[in-house]
Amino acid sequence: MDWGTDLWDQYDVIDKHSQSGLDLVERYIKFVKERTEIEQSYAKQLRSLTKKYAKRGSKEEQDCKFSNHASFQEILNELNDYAGQRELIAENMMTGICVELTKYLQELKQERKTHLSDAKKAQQTLESSFKHLESTKKRFAKEWAEADKATQQAEKTESDLNATRLDVEKAKQHAHARTHTAEECRNDYAAQLQKYNKEQNLFYYSEIPQIFNKLQDMDERRVRRLAEGYCQFSDIEKKVLPIISKCLEGISGAGAKINEKQDSILFIEQHKSGFERPGDVEFEDYSQGIKPATSDSSLNPPKVRAKLWPFSKKHKPPAAEDFSHLPPEQRKKRLQAKIDDITKELQKTQDQSDALEKMKGVYEQNPQMGDPSSLEPQITETAQNIGRLRGELAKYETWLSEAVGGEESSNTINNNTQHGVVAADQSNIYTEFDDEFDDIESPIGQCTALYTFQGNSEGTISITEGELLSIMEEDKGDGWMRVLRASGEEGYIPSSYVKLTP
């Protein structure tokens, strides 16, 4: 079955149907374009989201040592890669479907226009031939009527007794002439009719069927190409599914890698102070008339017990080079890390010195290769660096030995202080605490409580969500900061429970 045979008389229907097919292609192109815009917007929002939640800064880098923090960073990275695949889908859809189909649609429009134009020309030719046939037919009818009239007039004249022979002859000649003209018109009409029938047969059985079949072939090609475009809509996304699956697997893998016990151990290692827990406060019997040397300080024990974090000093000078401002455990770790760094740098410098010495030896044996004296400045500088590094290494190793050897005595002193034992130099310890808490200090900033915190431990205070606080001491790396409430109550709270106020 084909259009030329079965739809030979449905020109208008074929015209509308072929136009409807082109309109569908155009609608599909527009649909895919809007899909690509959605994909691009989605990818852009995903990238913004990952950028927003990505960790930045030294504190965040330190948090990334924990598996749960590191896994979240991996999830953000995988999501960023996932966004890239959505962008790839949009790009491939635009180039593989929209651009190609738009080009193909223009070709189809031009082809359809050509076929319809050919059909109209053939129709116009047939209509022109039919008009000529009608004109010839009318002329034949007219001439035949005139000839018949002339013949009747000749017969009437011949039967008229009053008519002369000349009149009769003249009437017969006129009738004969009219009949001859009518015969010629009849022959023209017959010839034109034969020609028209031939053209009509050619039009309906050859020209129009061929044109309609070409339009049918064009429409079927359009349908097939559109079907391929439909499949592309899915195939383009299927091609990136393996990568998307890897991104999703990476997210699942990041969650599976979390080790809560290891995170707890790492947190302990990072913040373990090495101090002993404070002992019981001893009873001071004032009824016996015995007063400590620094009675004012002894009567205010909370000032001493508030120092739950002896290494967190407010308005403390810059960090000491020997890390003595840190708790024992943290100090040992920092000193050991510093020693490792200096050792690596010393080895690197030593290797550089050895290389320079070898090069100098080569130059001395082969002067044409270079001047040995040109290496002297570098050799001298390297030797100085080696000396400096060895001195620093010895210094830090001494401090590490002191930290390891003096840890026990340091803990003992700390316990004695918490117990309130009055020793020869204990007055200095209490005086230090008194000076620290009695100094008039100004807030260094403002913050707002994000959550409610119940300060149940010594030295901590309770805060409520939304409360405005004054910052008296910043977080020194232990996760705590000292604040002042509007009521005048002062103490430590977790740094993560507040948000800095500009």
Digit-coded pLDDT (tens) for 243-264: 999 999 999 999 999 999 988 9
Asked whether 479 and 496 are in contact (CB, 8 A), the reply is yes
83: tokens are 């966004």
- Residue recorded with tokens 């292609």: 25
Tell me the backbone φ, ψ of residue 472, rounded to 5 degrees.
-100, -25
pLDDT at 49 (0 to 100): 95
Is the whole-model pTM more than 0.85?
no
Length of the chain: 502
* E strand map for 393-489: 445-449, 468-473, 480-484
CA distance 483 to 445: 9
Q: Does the pLDDT value for residue 479 go beyond 80? A: no
Q: Counting beta carbons within 10 angstroms of the beta carbon of residue 289, is it exposed (0 to 12), middle (13 to 18) or buried (19 or more)?
A: exposed
- Which of 73-87, 221-235, 292-306, 445-459 has the least mean pLDDT? 292-306
In one-letter notation, the amino acid at residue 225 is R
Digit-coded pLDDT (tens) for 80-114: 999 999 999 999 999 999 999 999 999 999 999 99
Asked whether 393 and 335 are in contact (CB, 8 A), the reply is no
pLDDT confidence tier of residue 312, bands split at 50, 70 and 90: very low
165: tokens are 């022979």
Angle, nearest 10°, between helix axes 208-256 and 100-159? 160
Task: Determine the longest span between alpha carbons in the chain, in angstroms.
Answer: 189
Q: Does the pLDDT value for residue 419 go beyond 50? A: no
